């Protein structure tokens, strides 16, 4: 009888498959009937199930915390019962998780010794220690704005999502924009092993281990909300203006003064003499802050048919917001990659832009898209789908979980508490921050443990298949470049014949 109350919520999937359609139909009708007439019977049953299944964290009481400022002791036995989370089979992790194995490959034969770890302290902002499910930090120095605080907040939320499931470890975390561990310094027969350093991005000449950046939990200095609610708003925002009704140009807005590449992009803006099909706007953060960010709402920037992505000092957190608009991303060939961007495929998820000939490349991409509307929209949709599905917050946490788990397997020493470490807990951050940061911290707080186990990690790529997909990517990009050359050749010819 119990099954009939809510067939879709609690039915084990194997049983679900065995039910034939007719009984399913009856169950559905009955469920509907009970919902309408039998609210009073249904509720208590559902609640008692919920109580047993879902543990909800207590809201943080800062008055109580501020008395002793000590992290509360949580009773970890509460979480040891795995039977509930096991009832939902986990999905397979998205493809980009396989790069975890590649990022850790430099240590796959040697393991990570304490000596290697300590050498990563040169630029690290803090050392993170996990021992028996509790988190500690040894702080070396302050990071820019609040990125270190939000990164640590993210790790604390991971602990709440998967309580009792993270292994003991020690790691070094650096919050700067650019990767630091140069491959060339650690190759050759007598070279030392590279130090393992966690970072937000890397490139093909470096060995930093990439980790999701702080913006997934919010970036208060630029009023950028946490990823989970923002992702939902993008879904809504994309319905506001249909693609065909959007401005038929390529849009970019950002701070151009952080890199030469971005300064060059300014020259592609529309002017009296030229129209490269680009609409470029410089973001002035001081002015935006003064007017309470009323012109920098990202969900209101899905107004053009094409969106340009271009790197900043390193990778740029803007990539996920740009891809989320349902408009094809014109991606200026990047140098750096974060944890997910290595799995983006040209002409499937984005349109590649030649970094040495940006304006003409953009002009061609927009003209092509406006004369191949279906294909252009498909690229826009595929990019958004990747972001909405493969990069939702559940997977971001799963990525962190698997990366930390695989990393900890490589440690050849037993993690210990350094003398200068202090314990971290959500209270220590939550009770200290104020203003916008407080609201982002509140919004991004994990309220209860995950209802499923982490997704299933796929095995490493074999080296030939990495090579093959890199070749495929290059060949797609060079095909686009050929089309582009033809376009400009014809364009020149017709211009010359007119003269
Ligand atoms: C928070 O803690 C204080 C001090 O222990 C207590 O007086 C207060 O009732 C608590 N507030 C809530 C909402 O539990
Ligand atoms: C933790 O919870 C378990 C089960 O609820 C209980 O038996 C145990 O006494 C608790 N331990 C502490 C230290 O509170
Ligand atoms: C890094 O670690 C080494 C060896 O433990 C130590 O001598 C050095 O002072 C540390 N450097 C920094 C910047 O903490
Ligand atoms: C680009 O051109 C538009 C339209 O003329 C203008 O509003 C905008 O400020 C220009 N952008 C920059 C960065 O100068
Ligand atoms: C952006 O605009 C949407 C829609 O008007 C609104 O729901 C959201 O709160 C705004 N976000 C910010 C950060 O102001
Ligand atoms: C087209 O003309 C421009 C100068 O007007 C030149 O720079 C460019 O190389 C020409 N492109 C082709 C494909 O002929």
Q: Which tens digits make up the pLDDT trace of 325-345?
A: 999 999 999 999 999 999 999
- State the pLDDT at residue 76: 58
Main-chain dihedrals φ then ψ at residue 209, nearest 5 degrees? -95, 120
pLDDT of residue 299 exceeding 90: no
Angle at 107 between CA 135 and CA 398, to 5 degrees: 45
* Phi-psi label, residue 89: left if phi above 0, alpha if psi -120 to 50, beta otherwise: beta
pLDDT of residue 80 exceeding 60: no
Which ligand 5 atom is at minimum distance from the Cα of 293?
A: 14
- Can you point out the beta strands (E) in 255-365? 278-282, 304-309, 329-332, 351-353
Find all residues with CB under 8 Å of 40, minimum gap 6, and list them: none
Find the range with the poorest average confidence among 2-6, 131-135, 273-277: 2-6
Q: How far is CA 363 from CA 266, 269, 307, 319, in A?
A: 14, 11, 13, 21
**How much is the average pLDDT of 282-308?**
87
Closest CA to 256 of 274, 280, 279: 280
Q: Are 353 and 365 in contact (CB under 8 A)?
A: yes
Closest CA to 314 of 215, 214, 178, 208: 178
* Distance of alpha carbon 380 from alpha carbon 313, whole angstroms: 26
**Ligand 6 centre and the CA of 485: distance in Å?**
9
Q: Residue 83: pLDDT band by 50, 70, 90 thresholds?
A: low
* Distance of alpha carbon 371 from alpha carbon 144, whole angstroms: 44
Considering only CA atoms, which residue is closest to atom 10 of ligand 3?
121
Query: Rg for the chain (alpha carbons), in Å?
Result: 25
417 or 79, higher pLDDT: 417
39 or 328, higher pLDDT: 328
Q: Which ligand is nearest to the CA of 126?
A: 3
Closest CA to 150 of 96, 208, 224: 224
pLDDT tens digits along 166-194: 999 999 999 999 999 999 999 988 899 99
Q: 347-377 burial by CB neighbour count: b if 16+ within 10 A, else e?
A: bebbbbbbbeebbbbbbbbbebbeeeeeebb
Does ligand 2 lie within 6 Å of residue 371's CB atom? no
Find the range with the poorest average confidence among 22-31, 120-129, 133-142, 285-294: 22-31
- pTM over 0.75? The answer is yes
The pLDDT mean for the chain works out to 88
Which ligand 4 atom is at minimum distance from the Cα of 266?
A: 13
Structure tokens at 177: 């924009």
**How much is the average pLDDT of 204-230?**
96
Q: Listing from the earlier edge strand, what are the strands of the sheet with 278-282?
A: 278-282, 247-254, 304-309, 329-332, 351-353
Q: Which ligand is nearest to the CA of 73?
A: 2
Structure tokens at 174: 């650096």
Which ligand 5 atom is at minimum distance from the Cα of 224?
A: 13
Find the range with the poorest average confidence among 1-15, 124-138, 333-347: 1-15
* Distance of alpha carbon 389 from alpha carbon 481, whole angstroms: 30
* Distance of alpha carbon 353 from alpha carbon 359, whole angstroms: 9
- State the pLDDT at residue 258: 92
Largest CA distance in the chain: 84
Does ligand 6 lie within 6 Å of residue 122's CB atom? no
Does ligand 2 lie within 6 Å of residue 75's CB atom? yes
**Ligand 5 centre and the CA of 425: distance in Å?**
30
Structure tokens at 103: 């990022």
**Ligand 5 centre and the CA of 3: distance in Å?**
41
**How much is the average pLDDT of 88-94?**
92
* Distance of alpha carbon 279 from alpha carbon 258, whole angstroms: 19
- State the pLDDT at residue 466: 92
Does ligand 4 lie within 6 Å of residue 275's CB atom? no
Angle at 55 between CA 54 and CA 58, to 5 degrees: 140
pLDDT tens digits along 343-373: 999 999 999 999 999 999 999 999 999 999 9
- State the pLDDT at residue 22: 42
* Distance of alpha carbon 126 from alpha carbon 132, whole angstroms: 20
Does ligand 4 lie within 6 Å of residue 280's CB atom? yes
**Ligand 1 centre and the CA of 44: distance in Å?**
29
Question: Parallel, antiparallel, or unpaired for β 169-173 and 209-210?
Answer: unpaired
Main-chain dihedrals φ then ψ at residue 353, nearest 5 degrees? -115, 135
**Ligand 4 centre and the CA of 312: distance in Å?**
19
Does ligand 6 lie within 6 Å of residue 492's CB atom? yes
Percent above pLDDT 70 for the chain: 86
Handedness of CA 285, 287, 292, 298 (dihedral sign): negative
Which ligand 4 atom is at minimum distance from the Cα of 282?
A: 13
* Distance of alpha carbon 130 from alpha carbon 403, whole angstroms: 14
- State the pLDDT at residue 44: 37
Handedness of CA 71, 73, 78, 82 (dihedral sign): positive
Does ligand 5 lie within 6 Å of residue 297's CB atom? yes
Burial of 25 (0-12, 13-18, 19+ CB in 10 A): exposed
């Amino acid at each position: 009888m119990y099954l009939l109350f809510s067939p879709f919520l609690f039915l084990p999937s194997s049983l679900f498959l065995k039910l034939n359609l007719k009984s399913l139909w009856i169950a559905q009708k009955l469920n509907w009937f009970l919902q309408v007439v039998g609210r009073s019977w249904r509720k208590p049953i559902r609640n008692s199930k919920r109580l047993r299944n879902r543990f909800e964290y207590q809201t943080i009481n800062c008055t109580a915390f501020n008395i002793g400022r000590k992290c509360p002791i949580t009773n970890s036995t509460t979480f040891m019962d795995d039977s509930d989370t096991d009832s939902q089979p986990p999905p397979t992790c998205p493809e980009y998780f396989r790069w975890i194995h590649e990022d850790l490959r430099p240590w796959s034969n040697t393991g990570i010794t304490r000596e290697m770890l300590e050498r990563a302290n040169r630029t690290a902002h803090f050392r993170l220690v996990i021992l028996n499910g509790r988190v500690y930090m040894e702080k070396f120095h302050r990071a820019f704005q609040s990125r270190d605080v939000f990164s640590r907040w993210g790790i604390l939320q991971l602990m709440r999502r998967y309580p009792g499931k993270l292994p003991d470890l020690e790691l070094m975390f650096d919050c700067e924009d650019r990767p630091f561990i140069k491959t060339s310094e650690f190759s050759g027969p007598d070279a030392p092993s590279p130090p393992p350093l966690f970072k937000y991005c890397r490139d093909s000449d470096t060995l930093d281990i990439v980790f999701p950046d702080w913006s997934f939990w919010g970036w208060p200095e630029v009023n950028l909300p946490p990823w989970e609610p923002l992702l939902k708003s993008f879904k809504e925002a994309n319905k506001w203006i249909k693609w065909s009704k959007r401005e038929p140009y390529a849009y970019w807005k950002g701070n151009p003064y952080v890199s030469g590449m971005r300064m060059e992009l300014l020259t592609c803006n529309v002017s009296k003499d030229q129209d490269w099909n680009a609409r470029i706007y410089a973001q002035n953060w001081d002015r935006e802050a003064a007017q309470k960010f009323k012109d920098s709402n990202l969900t209101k920037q899905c107004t053009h048919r094409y969106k340009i992505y271009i790197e900043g000092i390193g990778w740029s957190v803007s990539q996920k917001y740009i891809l989320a608009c349902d408009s094809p991303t014109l991606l200026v060939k990047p140098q750096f990659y974060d944890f997910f961007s290595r799995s983006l495929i040209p002409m499937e998820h984005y349109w590649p832009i030649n970094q040495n000939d940006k304006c003409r490349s953009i002009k061609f991409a927009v003209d092509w898209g406006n004369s191949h509307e279906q294909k252009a929209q498909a690229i826009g949709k595929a990019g958004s789908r990747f972001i909405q599905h493969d990069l939702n917050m559940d997977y971001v946490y799963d990525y962190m979980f698997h990366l930390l788990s695989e990393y900890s397997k490589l440690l050849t020493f037993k993690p210990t508490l350094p003398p200068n470490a202090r314990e971290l807990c959500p209270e220590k951050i939550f009770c200290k921050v104020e203003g916008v940061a407080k609201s982002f911290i509140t919004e991004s707080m994990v309220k209860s443990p995950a209802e499923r186990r982490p997704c299933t990690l796929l095995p490493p790529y074999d080296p030939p298949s990495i090579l093959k997909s890199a070749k495929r990517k290059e060949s797609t990009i060079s095909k686009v470049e050929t089309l582009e050359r033809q376009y400009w050749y014809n364009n020149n010819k017709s211009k010359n014949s007119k003269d």
